[in-house]
Structure 1
């Protein structure tokens, strides 16, 4: 059993307690959680849709993030048919994400976002704003009415960013691929099936892969959620939708120009990797 699966089981144990008897609104508290009797169709207490997709990118042209880490793209609700809702409440187009998080005492989250959730064009704040209005506003348990009469403007955005960061940290894509012998290289092509298998063994279910031409660019991890985005029970879920568009042979291109640091790992490539020069 993988460390991620063990962590999921531990999370389940605490989440079940948190969800045992939940209300239809967050009672009069900024940090209120569901309690009492709640029906499964109560969208404040049970996400609707109850699936989500955590997306990560490997930006090489231009580079974002450190050379040995994927970066966050976003956290998106996804319907059972694979469609992804967008821009569910444009009245909540907040343009001051950093200030919102600072006001809530989440300075550490901002620090992590500036490392793990970078924009390739350097406009981190713009990326966070876009992800919030496009996808964050579509999580039903983050609706304003779920927060009761003591609601403060924009407070519902805070758990969206906190959950996105915490979930990303439980999905170390670079390390999982590296441990399977899949290392960024300018000279090797990898089998799509090997990449899928390496990530599936760690995550527990099939992931979604996206490519820019032949270059591996984006990965999506799917989850089912019982309860709220804030403190619900997350279980890994198989990929759905039309997200897979990679060829059978994939280039996992290094970031930046540090080729010498990459080539010393050539011996770690799996036997199914193919030399680019041989094609």
Structure 2
């Protein structure tokens, strides 16, 4: 009986260690920002403004995602640590401004934040608790001000087309690091600026050059920057 109990304890310890390793084992983060004009122009049927109203015409946060150097990523690492809005109550107004949800039906953003924390944030628990995960991500948006960098290079969200290389160069000039640009298509099939990826080291402290770029939708040499 004693040996069975010891075996059970041993198995439970191994299971706990496996879960702990899963939540700590990653190589870097993708920090992803999204242009709302491209989100809404791609499929207007899936674009709904938040219950707080239309967001500002600025890039919004999509997420901060732990990743491996081989391009794969961990997900849903700790079901025992669900999203709890009370833990970020002091960040809510900032979240609504900089991390809004445009999915339908209209909502207050909490389901989006919950998804991001539970799928991605729980895999970074060796670095962040819930509050520091969201607080750090909000800070990164201020540090990597994409719209300001693009406008400084004369690249405006007015529906015009711009060179992909010029967009990359402008963001690198503004942030100090090479971005990955993901495009989608508007209702007429034109390639447009959709998401921008930058990378963060595994300590969650510093922007870095990306070890590997994602396999998202590639862009043409000329892409639209739609208005919003």
Same fold? TM cut 0.5: yes
The TM-score normalised by the length of structure 1 is 0.61
Find the residue that maps to 1:129 and give its secondary structure: helix
CA pair 221-184 structure 1, distance change in 2 beyond 3 A: same
Q: 2:62 aligns with which of 73, 93, 106?
A: 73
Q: Deviations over 1:190-243 (max 9, x none)?
A: 111111111112222211111112121111111224x4x4xxx41422362324
Q: Deviations over 1:67-107 (max 9, x none)?
A: 2x11010111111112222212233232x42x2223xxxx1
Following superposition, the deviation at residue 185 of structure 1 comes to: 1.8
Cα distance in structure 2, aligned partners of 1:90 and 1:56: 26
Cα distance in structure 2, aligned partners of 1:82 and 1:58: 23
1:135 aligns with 2:120: yes
Contact kept in structure 2, 1:78 and 1:84, CA below 8 Å: yes
Name the residue aligned to 1:207. Answer: 179
Contact kept in structure 1, 2:145 and 2:175, CA below 8 Å: no
Cα distance in structure 2, aligned partners of 1:87 and 1:247: 33
Which has the larger helix fraction? 2
CA pair 170-164 structure 1, distance change in 2 beyond 3 A: same
Name the residue aligned to 2:10. Answer: none
Cα distance in structure 2, aligned partners of 1:57 and 1:160: 18
Cα distance in structure 2, aligned partners of 1:142 and 1:195: 32
Q: 1:249 aligns with which of 222, 225, 228?
A: 222
Name the residue aligned to 1:221. Answer: 198
Q: Deviations over 1:163-209 (max 9, x none)?
A: 111111111100000000100122x2111111111111222221111
Q: Deviations over 1:6-57 (max 9, x none)?
A: xxxxxxxxxxxxxxxxxxxxxxxxxxxxxxxxxxxxx89xx64231111111
Name the residue aligned to 2:88. Answer: 101
Query: Which runs of no fewer than 5 residues in structure 1 stay unpaired?
Result: 1-42, 144-155, 256-279
Name the residue aligned to 1:189. Answer: 161
Contact kept in structure 2, 1:205 and 1:239, CA below 8 Å: no
Query: Which runs of no fewer than 5 residues in structure 2 stay unpaired?
Result: 1-19, 41-46, 186-190
Find the residue that maps to 2:80 and give its secondary structure: helix
Name the residue aligned to 1:91. Answer: 80
Cα distance in structure 2, aligned partners of 1:243 and 1:221: 14
Contact kept in structure 1, 2:32 and 2:64, CA below 8 Å: yes
1:238 aligns with 2:210: yes
CA pair 172-93 structure 1, distance change in 2 beyond 3 A: same
The TM-score normalised by the length of structure 2 is 0.74
Contact kept in structure 2, 1:208 and 1:239, CA below 8 Å: no
Name the residue aligned to 1:56. Answer: 33
Deviates more, 1:162-171 or 1:174-183: 162-171
Name the residue aligned to 2:102. Answer: 120
Contact kept in structure 2, 1:216 and 1:253, CA below 8 Å: yes
Deviates more, 1:171-180 or 1:55-64: 55-64
